[in-house]
C-alpha cells in the first residue's frame, strides 16, 4: 500500500501495479481498492498501464476528514495525478465517473477519460432520485442505520428492485463489504446532486 496526502491533509491510500502510462481508477458507490472486482480490473489493466487503484476518502485505508465536500474529492484525485507524474488517464465507474468528469471540467491534467456506466439521465421522464435523496441518506447514516441506507440508496438512487437488495443480504461476503463502506453513501449521493443540477457548479 502507498499513500499520498490530499490538499486538506487527508491521507489517500492506493495500490500501484503494472507498467506504462499512468491510469487512475475512480470507484463508484460501495466500491474501494480491495473490492474483488476492483482488484481484478486493476490486474487486468496492469498489462498495459501503471494502474493507481485508490480508496476514495472515507473508504478502506484512506482518511475521512470532515466536513465532506465534492471539491475535496477532486483535490484527492489531483494529489494522485501529481503522484503519478503530473498527468494521467482516468477511468471512473458510476458515481466515480461523475467525479472523474467533474475533475476534468475543473481542469485537472487528465489526458484521457473513460466513463463506465455513469448515472446520466438522458430523457426528462427518466427516473431520478428523490429531491431529498442526499439528506435522507445522510440521516440514515447519522442514526447508524447502515442496512436501511444501503436499501434506500440502491432502490431510490440506483433503481434496483427491493428483492435484489434482499438477496444481497444472504450472499456470503457481499453484505459485509457493503456495510463496511455504507457511511460514504452520502458522498456518492452528493455527486448525484451535482449531476442533476441541484447544486451550484464546482468549477
Average pLDDT over residues 73-102: 97
* H or E stretch at 190: helix 185-195
Residue 21 is assigned to a structural domain of this protein? yes
The reply to whether 26 and 61 lie within a common domain is yes
For the chain, how many structural domains are there in total?
A: 2
Residue 123 is assigned to a structural domain of this protein? no
* Share of residues in the chain with pLDDT > 90 (%): 71
Q: Which residues are bridge partners to 84 per DSSP?
A: none
The reply to whether 109 and 140 lie within a common domain is no
Q: What pLDDT, in 10s, does the model give residues 40-64?
A: 999 999 999 999 999 999 999 999 9
CA atoms within 13 A on the CB side of 165: 19
pTM beyond cutoff 0.75: yes
Please tell me the distance from the alpha carbon of residue 86 to that of residue 47, in angstroms, as a whole number. Answer: 21
pLDDT score recorded for residue 197: 67
pLDDT score recorded for residue 200: 43
Q: Is residue 145 left, alpha or beta, with left meaning phi > 0 and alpha meaning psi from -120 to 50?
A: beta
Position 193 confidence tier, pLDDT thresholds 50, 70, 90: confident
The reply to whether 93 and 156 lie within a common domain is no
Position 202 confidence tier, pLDDT thresholds 50, 70, 90: very low
The reply to whether 61 and 151 lie within a common domain is no
The reply to whether 185 and 107 lie within a common domain is no
* CATH number where 89 lies: 3.40.50.1820
Residue 126 is assigned to a structural domain of this protein? no
The reply to whether 23 and 67 lie within a common domain is yes
More confident call, 10 vs 176: 10
Which of 116, 145, 165 is at the close of a domain?
116
The reply to whether 20 and 101 lie within a common domain is yes
Residue 79 is assigned to a structural domain of this protein? yes
Q: What pLDDT, in 10s, does the model give residues 128-184?
A: 778 888 899 999 999 999 999 999 999 888 888 888 888 988 887 888 889 999 999
Indicate if the pLDDT at residue 96 is higher than 50. Answer: yes
The reply to whether 102 and 17 lie within a common domain is yes
- Compute the CA torsion angle 67, 73, 76, 80 (nearest 10 deg): 160
Domain ranges, residue 49? 2-116
Amino acid at each position: 500500500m502507498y499513500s499520498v496526502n490530499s490538499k486538506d491533509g487527508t491521507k489517500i491510500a492506493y495500490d500501484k501495479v503494472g507498467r506504462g502510462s499512468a491510469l487512475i481508477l475512480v470507484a463508484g458507490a460501495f466500491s474501494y481498492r480491495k473490492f474483488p472486482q476492483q482488484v481484478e480490473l486493476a490486474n487486468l489493466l496492469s498489462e498495459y498501464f501503471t494502474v493507481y487503484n485508490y480508496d476514495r476518502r472515507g473508504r478502506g485505508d484512506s482518511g475521512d476528514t470532515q466536513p465532506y465536500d465534492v471539491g475535496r474529492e477532486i483535490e484527492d484525485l489531483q494529489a494522485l495525478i501529481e503522484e503519478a507524474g503530473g498527468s494521467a488517464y482516468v477511468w471512473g465507474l458510476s458515481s466515480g465517473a461523475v467525479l472523474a468528469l467533474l475533475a476534468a471540467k475543473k481542469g485537472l491534467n487528465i489526458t484521457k477519460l473513460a466513463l463506465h456506466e455513469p448515472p446520466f439521465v438522458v430523457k426528462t421522464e427518466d427516473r431520478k432520485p428523490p429531491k431529498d435523496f442526499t439528506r435522507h441518506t445522510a440521516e440514515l447514516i447519522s442514526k447508524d442505520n447502515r442496512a436501511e441506507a444501503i436499501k434506500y440508496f440502491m432502490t431510490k438512487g440506483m433503481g434496483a428492485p427491493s428483492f435484489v437488495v434482499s438477496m444481497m443480504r444472504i450472499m456470503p461476503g457481499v453484505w459485509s463489504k457493503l456495510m463496511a463502506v455504507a457511511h460514504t453513501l452520502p458522498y456518492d449521493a452528493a455527486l448525484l446532486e451535482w449531476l442533476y443540477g441541484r447544486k451550484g457548479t464546482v468549477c
